């Protein structure tokens, strides 16, 4: 059974995490530990850094499990449960 897409929102940015795509490289955690901390229940806290810094780190996610959406932009089809297929 596929795991649910996780959504973390602030007024400036929305970060989504697809646990079905993640291969746990740790790039997010090592690159921006104040925002990405797996020891917390709500492990993504985009409000703890500027939206651009968070977006830059999300862009480094090698699996594409992390994605960003800016206010007013349509959702990325890769974030759908079907992965845009």
Q: In sequence order, which residues have a C-beta less than 8 Å from that of residue 7 and are 6 or more positions away?
A: 14, 15, 16
Q: What pLDDT is stored for residue 2 in this prediction?
A: 85
Q: What pLDDT is stored for residue 45 in this prediction?
A: 98
CATH of domain 6-73: 3.30.70.20
Q: In sequence order, which residues have a C-beta less than 8 Å from that of residue 34 and are 6 or more positions away?
A: 45, 48, 49
Instruction: Please give the backbone phi and psi of residue 15, each rounded to the nearest 5 degrees, phi first.
Output: -110, 130
Q: What pLDDT is stored for residue 83 in this prediction?
A: 46
Kindly state the DSSP code that residue 47 receives in the 8-state scheme.
G
What average pLDDT does range 6-27 have in this prediction?
A: 97
Whether the CB-CB separation of 7 and 46 falls below 8 Å is answered with: no
Q: What pLDDT is stored for residue 78 in this prediction?
A: 54
Instruction: Please give the backbone phi and psi of residue 68, each rounded to the nearest 5 degrees, phi first.
Output: -120, 155
Which sequence spans correspond to the domains of the chain?
Answer: 6-73
CA 62 – CA 1 distance, rounded (Å):
23
Report pLDDT digits (tens) over 28-85: 999 999 999 999 999 999 999 999 999 999 999 999 999 999 998 876 655 444 444 3
- The pTM of the full predicted model, rounded to 2 decimals, is 0.83
Report pLDDT digits (tens) over 23-36: 999 999 999 999 99
């Amino acid at each position: 059974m596929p795991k649910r897409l996780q959504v973390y929102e602030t007024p400036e940015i929305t970060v989504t995490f697809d646990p079905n795509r993640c291969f746990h490289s740790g790039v997010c955690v090592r690159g921006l530990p104040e925002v990405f901390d797996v020891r917390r229940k709500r492990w993504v806290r985009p409000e703890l850094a500027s939206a651009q810094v968070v977006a830059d780190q999300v862009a480094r996610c090698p699996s594409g499990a992390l994605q960003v959406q800016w206010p007013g932009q349509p959702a990325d089809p890769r974030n759908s449960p079907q992965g845009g297929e």
